[in-house]
Amino acid sequence: MIILVTGGCGFIGANLVPLLEAAGHDVRVFDSEIVGKRAHLVNFAGEFLSGDIRDPAALDAALAGVDVVIHLAADTRVIDSIADPSTNFDVNVVGSFRLLEAMRARGVRRIVNASTGGAIIGEAEPPVHERMVPNPIAPYGATKLAVEGLCSAWAGSYGFAAMSLRFANVYGPRSYHKGSAVAQFMRQALQGAPLQIYGDGEQTRDFVYVGDLCRGILRAIESGQSGVVQLGSGVPLSINQLIAAIGKVAAPLPLTVAYHPARAGEIARTWCDISQARARLGFAPDTNLSAGLAATWAWFCTRSESAIGIPAPLGPQQNSEV
Ligand SMILES: NC(=O)c1ccc[n+]([C@@H]2O[C@H](COP(=O)([O-])OP(=O)(O)OC[C@H]3O[C@@H](n4cnc5c(N)ncnc54)[C@H](O)[C@@H]3O)[C@@H](O)[C@H]2O)c1
């Protein structure tokens, strides 16, 4: 298949594109390079197109001959979406609408859309699953929910195969720029700073290794199904347990931890039920935590600043997507 990956230079895209190529697909990457850069695509044999997801002409050109779209491009900053909901809405909702319309005009009718679990569901008794009533508490979650709605409508009205995959908290190599917990903690550890924890560290999250997630995305494009499916590890992990596990892979580097009062608006416990993903996609996240963290740590230790080119300030876990 010829696959167009929007946002393909970002964290997940840079891990996914080599997997798609190894599976024998022709891959085209479309990215504005506002966050990820073309240079992040290692040994990429396909075509790169620089463009904005809100630009209909650029989308039309990118879609020529394409069989399926994997839509990763988004403004993923949760806390920033509260201060500036307009930009988040524009990139995520208007951009996705223009993509779907450009696909319709080109006769491209298969899309896998990157969505999110926690930010859409909001505060709820875990495990999070697809049948829960969505209750986003930040504009980012609301925009992701809106895009799920658009995908569903384009499936219902225009015969699209449109699947939205709700990602849990993804970690792995190539995430240096991310605001998520593992990336923050590893940056802080490498910079010799205390790991910053808000609350007592007993809050739980669902951490899924990016390699497992990308295999789930590959399953979704090959399935050609529609609907909403949650992708995660299916296992709750507390922040204290995560830090203990990072301590093992970072040894002999000593880790120090600074606890701060819990912040309003942060969910205490969340993890997800992946039985739908197992049943519908044969999804099997089998990378154990220590192996996933070891691969991530190894990449964080060897990565070159110039190859990343993305500012990654130390600070609170501001932009975690779940
Ligand atoms: N990483 C996670 O834990 C996580 C969790 C839930 C959902 N998601 C979703 O997965 C997708 C990929 O996330 P990621 O972690 O790789 O994020 P990322 O920020 O690393 O990558 C996003 C890419 O989109 C590009 N982009 C942004 N705005 C664009 C625009 N207007 N036009 C074209 N390209 C644009 C950026 O340059 C970047 O390369 C996003 O849709 C995100 O919401 C990620």
Q: Helix, strand, coil: what percent of the chain each, to 5?
A: 40, 20, 40
- Residues 302, 164 share a domain: no
- Residues 197, 109 share a domain: no
**Which backbone phi and psi does 50 adopt, to 5 degrees?**
-85, 125
pLDDT value, residue 303: 77
pLDDT value, residue 314: 37
- Residues 222, 190 share a domain: no
Residue of 72, 94, 231 with the most ligand 1 atoms within 8 Å of its CB, for mutation: 72
Chain centroid to CA 174: how far? 12
> Could you tell me if residue 278 is inside a domain?
no
Ligand 1 atom closest to residue 12's alpha carbon, by position in its atom list: 16
CA distance 289 to 300: 16
Pocket of ligand 1 (CB under 6 A): 7, 9-13, 31-36, 52-54, 72-76, 91, 95, 114, 116, 167, 169-170, 178, 180, 321-322
Calculate mean pLDDT across residues 182-206: 95
Report the predicted TM-score, pTM, of the whole model to 2 decimal places. Answer: 0.95
Nearest CA-CA partner of 75 in 52, 58, 103: 52
Report CA(140)–ligand 1 centroid distance (Å).
12
Mean pLDDT is lowest, of 33-37, 87-91, 137-141, 238-242, for 137-141
> Could you tell me if residue 192 is inside a domain?
yes
Residue nearest to atom 3 of ligand 1 (CA): 170
CA distance 207 to 210: 9
- Residues 215, 195 share a domain: no
Residue of 9, 31, 76, 96 with the most ligand 1 atoms within 8 Å of its CB, for mutation: 76
Instruction: Name 193's Cβ contacts closer than 8 Å, sequence gap at least 6.
Output: 314
CA distance 21 to 47: 12
Report CA(74)–ligand 1 centroid distance (Å).
5
Ligand 1 atom closest to residue 54's alpha carbon, by position in its atom list: 31
> Could you tell me if residue 302 is inside a domain?
yes
Count of structural domains, the chain: 2
The residues pairing with 111 across neighbouring beta strands, listed in sequence order, are 69, 162
pLDDT of 309 higher than 60: no
Which residue type does 308 have? I
pLDDT of 285 higher than 90: yes
pLDDT band at 268 (very low <50, low <70, confident <90, very high): confident
pLDDT value, residue 119: 86
Both structure tokens of 158: 């225009």
pLDDT value, residue 264: 67
- Given a contact cutoff of 8 angstroms between Cβ atoms, the answer to whether 29 and 13 are in contact is yes
Calculate mean pLDDT across residues 51-69: 98
> Could you tell me if residue 315 is inside a domain?
no
> Could you tell me if residue 47 is inside a domain?
yes
The residues pairing with 166 across neighbouring beta strands, listed in sequence order, are 115, 230
> Could you tell me if residue 280 is inside a domain?
no
CATH number of the domain that residue 299 is part of: 3.90.25.10
Mean pLDDT is lowest, of 75-79, 107-111, 312-316, for 312-316
pLDDT value, residue 267: 73
Over the chain, what is the mean pLDDT?
92
CA distance 132 to 126: 10
- Residues 239, 162 share a domain: no
| Proportion of the chain above pLDDT 70, given as a percent | 93
CATH number of the domain that residue 79 is part of: 3.40.50.720
- Residues 243, 161 share a domain: no
- Given a contact cutoff of 8 angstroms between Cβ atoms, the answer to whether 170 and 114 are in contact is no
Residue of 11, 38, 92, 150 with the most ligand 1 atoms within 8 Å of its CB, for mutation: 11
Nearest CA-CA partner of 170 in 12, 9, 43: 12
- Residues 27, 6 share a domain: yes
Report CA(284)–ligand 1 centroid distance (Å).
23
By residue range, what is the domain housing residue 244? 175-206+234-272+287-308
CA distance 168 to 231: 6
pLDDT value, residue 310: 42
Both structure tokens of 133: 């009533």
For residue 261, with 0-12 CB atoms within 10 Å meaning exposed, 13-18 middle and 19 or more buried, which class applies? exposed
- Residues 201, 151 share a domain: no
pLDDT band at 263 (very low <50, low <70, confident <90, very high): confident
* Residues forming the active site: 140
- Residues 145, 164 share a domain: yes
pLDDT of 296 higher than 60: yes
The residues pairing with 116 across neighbouring beta strands, listed in sequence order, are 167
- pLDDT tens profile 106-136: 999 999 999 998 889 988 999 999 999 999 9
pLDDT value, residue 90: 98
> Could you tell me if residue 317 is inside a domain?
no
Calculate mean pLDDT across residues 237-251: 97
Ligand 1 atom closest to residue 115's alpha carbon, by position in its atom list: 7
pLDDT of 8 higher than 90: yes
| Continuous segment of H or E residues that includes residue 258 | strand 257-260
Which residue type does 299 have? W
> Could you tell me if residue 320 is inside a domain?
no
Report CA(148)–ligand 1 centroid distance (Å).
15
Report CA(10)–ligand 1 centroid distance (Å).
6
pLDDT of 304 higher than 60: no
Helices (H), the chain: 11-22, 56-62, 78-83, 85-89, 95-106, 118-121, 139-158, 181-190, 210-223, 239-250, 275-281, 289-302, 305-308
- Residues 225, 111 share a domain: yes
For residue 129, with 0-12 CB atoms within 10 Å meaning exposed, 13-18 middle and 19 or more buried, which class applies? middle
pLDDT value, residue 205: 94
pLDDT value, residue 265: 59
| ∠ Cα 240 242 245 (to 5°) | 110
pLDDT of 294 higher than 50: yes
pLDDT value, residue 122: 85
- Residues 109, 65 share a domain: yes
Which residue type does 104 have? R
- Residues 215, 96 share a domain: yes
